[in-house]
């Protein structure tokens, strides 16, 4: 089977991003403690930051350790016959569908949430996760090559209101 597009990302990369987020959070916490002017409001803020920051740091650390140990692979593959997505974090975003069955790809935006949805000729919908750094332009080009009848968005970067 000829692959037209492949994207893979290991969970250790996500783990490293979480560790970087821990460093950024710590820097923001220390900056708040150092640079906020003394007042009753800032004392209340620091009080709550003293509680919330360690909890968030612990959650980020546990998630980073979990992803580092598990180290599964997110995979998105387009072949001449199928479009397959495997997301180890969410079975909702995991699917394998025949490329010829895809009727349309729709990009929508609601409030602060963008969505990329695939509509099949049967009327069934699948959503593509946006948690990874795959290239939409390359994905859409591969899908169009696998099925020239797919209605694609005008731009991979423009999301319409739903």
CATH number of the domain enclosing 147: 2.30.29.30
Query: How far, in Å, CA of 135 to CA of 144, rounded?
Result: 14
**Is-contact 152 136, C-beta < 8 A?**
no
According to the model, what pLDDT value does residue 71 have? 95
The pair phi, psi for residue 160, each rounded to 5°, is -85, 155
According to the model, what pLDDT value does residue 116 have? 86
Domain check: are 50 and 80 in the same one? no
Query: How far, in Å, CA of 76 to CA of 9, rounded?
Result: 9
Domain check: are 60 and 135 in the same one? no
Instruction: Quote the domain boundaries for residue 38.
Output: 10-70
Domain check: are 85 and 145 in the same one? yes
According to the model, what pLDDT value does residue 159 have? 57
The CB density around residue 94, as the number of other CB atoms within 10 Å, is 16
Domain check: are 97 and 62 in the same one? no
How many CA atoms, within 13 angstroms, populate the side-chain half-sphere of residue 9?
Answer: 20
- The H or E element spanning position 6 is strand 3-10
Domain check: are 97 and 151 in the same one? yes
Q: Helix (H, G, I), strand (E, B), or coil: what is residue 161?
A: strand
Residue that finishes a domain, picked among 70, 100, 116: 70
Domain check: are 86 and 133 in the same one? yes
Torsion over CA: 49, 52, 58, 64 (sign): negative
Model-level pTM? Answer: 0.75
Domain check: are 145 and 94 in the same one? yes
Domain check: are 151 and 91 in the same one? yes
Residue that finishes a domain, picked among 22, 50, 70: 70
Domain check: are 90 and 113 in the same one? yes
Residue that finishes a domain, picked among 49, 70, 91: 70
Domain check: are 57 and 81 in the same one? no
Instruction: Provide the angle, in degrees to the nearest 10, between the axes of the packed helices 11-35 and 40-70.
Output: 170
According to the model, what pLDDT value does residue 58 have? 98
According to the model, what pLDDT value does residue 1 have? 65
Q: Helix (H, G, I), strand (E, B), or coil: what is residue 51?
A: helix
Indicate the number of domains in the chain: 2
According to the model, what pLDDT value does residue 43 have? 93
Burial of 118 (0-12, 13-18, 19+ CB in 10 A): buried
Domain check: are 119 and 144 in the same one? yes
Per-residue pLDDT tens listing for the chain (162 residues): 689 999 999 999 999 999 999 999 999 999 999 999 989 999 999 999 999 999 999 999 999 999 999 999 999 999 999 999 999 988 888 999 999 999 999 887 776 677 888 999 999 999 888 778 888 889 999 999 999 999 988 766 665 555
Domain check: are 51 and 130 in the same one? no
């Amino acid at each position: 089977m000829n692959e037209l597009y492949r994207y893979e990302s290991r969970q250790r990369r996500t783990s490293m991003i979480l560790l970087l987020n821990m460093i950024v959070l710590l820097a923001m916490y220390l900056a708040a403690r150092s640079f906020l002017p003394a007042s009753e409001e800032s004392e209340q803020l620091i009080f709550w930051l003293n509680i919330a920051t360690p909890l968030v740091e612990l959650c980020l650390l546990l998630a980073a350790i979990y992803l580092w140990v598990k180290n599964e692979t997110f995979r998105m593959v387009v072949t001449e016959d199928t479009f397959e997505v495997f997301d180890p974090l969410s079975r909702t975003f995991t699917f394998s569908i025949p490329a010829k069955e895809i009727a349309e790809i729709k990009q929508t935006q609601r409030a602060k949430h963008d969505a990329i949805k695939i509509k099949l000729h049967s009327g069934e919908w699948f959503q593509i996760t946006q948690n990874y750094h795959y290239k939409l332009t390359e994905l859409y080009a591969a899908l169009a090559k696998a099925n020239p009848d797919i209605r694609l968005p005008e731009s991979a970067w423009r999301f319409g209101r739903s």
